[in-house]
Chains A and B, each alone.
Chain A
Amino acid sequence: MKRQVIRAGKPLTLELQEVWQYRELLYALIMRSFQLRYKQAILGVLWAILQPLSAVVIFSFFLGKFVKVPSDNLPYPLFAFSGMIVWSYFATALSQASQSLVGYRDLITKVYFPRLILPLANALVATIDFLLSFVALSGLILWYDFSLSWRIVFFPLFLLITLFTALSLGLWLASINYLYRDVQYALPFFIQLSLFLTPVVYPTSILPVHWQWVYALNPMVGVVEGFRWCLFGQGKIPTLFWVSLLIVFVVFVGGLFYFKRVERLLSDAI
């Protein structure tokens, strides 16, 4: 028979195997948010595509047509849209993960389960949006008569990195947000800013060469470049990408521990 002990002053452990035990709940949470989203908004599916698409239309006009921002030998709309959907994936996953603890407060105070499931589920829901807009991108690729290269097999890897990057920050922000609600005001600003710190609407090449190494420390730079490399064979993954991944890893593990620490206070802090 299963025996468990509840004890004061338990050491801080991650208990990741518990997340695996509760995988049905993780799946149920994802299903639920998905059902809710596409029930409340009839245009739900379209929204996922429309948001990045409309942004790209605007950027294509202003930056692509008028300012004539270079786009690494790609048609500007294709260049911007491919960057935009990866960045949107990051932005949605990050903001959803940050909202998760506050959003599910009703559950947290009433039922026990490993709380780690909440940011994880919220970030994973963003994947669905991404896949939808990827369908739109495929349409655009066909329109411009581009052929996909074999490198597409690396594509899931970059998705996974995006998810991890979003979660690494999301874990910290979700915990802090539960204690201080300021985060939810600051986050949209940060996300807006991150759009311009990532080569979404302009290529890395327009930056001064001696500053590019700082820029490369943003893991999303490598992801966006890598994503374009997968699709079109264009774009260079900066060498410092691996350093930035190391940073993501450290932030992620730190986030896990911080999250676990805050988790203990959750049902007490109402």
Chain B
Amino acid sequence: MSRPAIRAVGLSKAYRRTGWYYYDTLRDRLSHYFRRPWDLFRRHSSTPFWALREVSFEVNEGEILGIIGRNGAGKTTLLKLLSRLTEPTEGYAEIYGRISSLLEVGTGFHGELTGRENIYFNGILLGMKREEIKRKLDEIIEFAGIKDFIDTPMKKYSPGMQARLAFSIAAHLEPEILLVDEVLAVGDIEFQKKCIGKMEEVSKESGRTILFISHQMNQIKRLCHRTMWLEGGRIQAIGPTLEVVDAYEKALLGSLTRSISHSESQEKAESFYWYLLHSDKTPHTLCHLDATEIAFVLDVFEPIRSWHYEVNLFDSVGRLLWSGWINNLRGVLAPGRYEIVYKLPLLPISPGIYHWRAMLWGDYGCVGVWECRPEFVVEVPNYQHFVEARVGILNLPYQAKMNLIASPESTTSLPIQPQNK
């Protein structure tokens, strides 16, 4: 009954670390040959880097396949191959149906153009027909909630409004196959949920096939029937979402014992893993309001001069709650594995799911930005309001008391009220 929508056989993609297109200007290239004339006679002496290696899989029509894996595992490369942005080095894929890919949202948006003009351009770029956009225009504007600003130049929009409009266009795409790269990672959570809901709805109704990359396991678990886990360009596992996600999360924990002599990714350093020290439950769940020590693991593969490391704590809506840093602008960070510990007297945040972002800078600029995994779960009892909508960011135990300071009979005015005149 179910027909395949995508059938990939042995897909591989190799990149050369220094290809002939490596240089920006002819001058650079000439000066390279001047310095190393023997390179003129060597043909691509560099070893290829396999971003994707012998990836074979099938996706059935109407299925939502999640794709997970660490940075540099080949997730985006796979999507780029399927959306024809780049050609495979080996292997092939058969695609049945009209395909549309979202490697980012809002591609081609221009600040000088109005919201309406941008909807048309972006929509056509993503493969909609002009007629189709005209028909859905009201719906797109409604969904984004920017009705009053639709004829205003986009440069006057807030980033949130731009993101909402971009998502809204994307959510109204109707290809038979949709490829989505982590575009839902930004924007506010309510709107993300709305978009995912919309995608789910369309997938169920019209049998749309979706390939969905995400770092957010809760999104993957909610949306995807099956999940593919890529590791170092190969398929590590593919199967029912819960099983694969479970195995992946276990492996992330286990990756601490992995040798750090080589990096699978191309980065100079990486910092994905974090944990709570002296925690009584799991190392990623905070259950108390006492002093907390949070440790981040930083693997350094190449020396980094005048380094600056920092971590940011975000809530599920993407609000920045806290940042901590450590640096040595005169020092050199030698290769090795480091543990960076931030000691906080207390971390009074409301129960919920949070995430850490780690960043490292060196004298050449930003070395990397890493969304740490797993998520940070806070399971402290809620000391605040009993109505969920009244729960704020800070979660501090408090006492409330009430004193009568004036009775109606008394003629004296309230001491706390400022006296007019």
Contacts and interface: CB of A to CB of B under 8 A. Distances in A.
Interface of A: 1-8, 10, 24-25, 28, 31-32, 35-36, 39-40, 106-107, 109-113, 179-182, 264-265, 267-269
Contacts of B85: 109-112, 267
A179 B129 contact: no
Contact of B93 (A6, A28, A182, A264): A6
A111 B126 contact: yes
A66 B245 CA distance: 82
A181 B80 contact: no
Interface stretch (B94-102, B197-205, B246-254): B94-102
Looking at B19, B27, B87, the one whose CB has the most chain A CB atoms below 10 A away is B87
A182 B125 contact: no
20 contacts: A2-B98, A4-B95, A5-B92, A6-B81, A6-B82, A7-B91, A8-B89, A24-B129, A28-B121, A28-B125, A32-B117, A39-B112, A39-B113, A107-B125, A110-B85, A110-B103, A111-B85, A112-B84, A265-B21, A269-B21
Q: Which 6 A-B pairs have the closest CB atoms?
A: A269-B21, A180-B26, A7-B92, A267-B85, A112-B84, A28-B124
Contacts of A4: 94-95, 99
A4 B97 CA distance: 8
Contact of A268 (B86, B96, B97, B130): B86
B120 A28 contact: yes
A182 B89 contact: no
B385 to A, nearest CB: 44
A110 B107 contact: yes
Contact of B87 (A39, A264, A269): A264
Contacts of B101: 111-112
Interface string B125-169: 110011000000000000000000000010000000000000000
Contacts of B87: 6, 8, 10, 264
B190 interface: no
Contact of B96 (A3, A111, A267): A3
Q: Which of under 10, 10 to 19, 20 to 34, or 35 or more describes the interface residues of B?
A: 35 or more
Given A8-B90, A28-B121, A267 B97 contact: no
A267 B25 contact: no
Contact of A5 (B23, B86, B94): B94
Interface of B: 12, 15, 19, 21, 23-27, 29, 80-99, 101, 103-104, 107-108, 110, 112-113, 117, 120-121, 124-126, 129-130, 153, 176
Contacts, number: 110
B32 to A, nearest CB: 12
A34 to B, nearest CB: 11
B57 to A, nearest CB: 14
A182 B110 CA distance: 27
A36 B112 contact: yes
A88 to B, nearest CB: 24
Nearest to B113: A35
B96 A25 contact: no
A32 B119 CA distance: 12
A30 to B, nearest CB: 11
B27 A182 contact: yes
Given A107-B108, A112-B84, A25 B92 contact: no
B25 A182 contact: yes
B6 to A, nearest CB: 10
Nearest to B27: A182
B17 to A, nearest CB: 12
Contacts of B27: 182
Nearest to B87: A264
B107 to A, nearest CB: 5
Contacts of A112: 83-85, 101
Given A25-B125, A182-B27, A8 B113 contact: no
Nearest to B181: A110
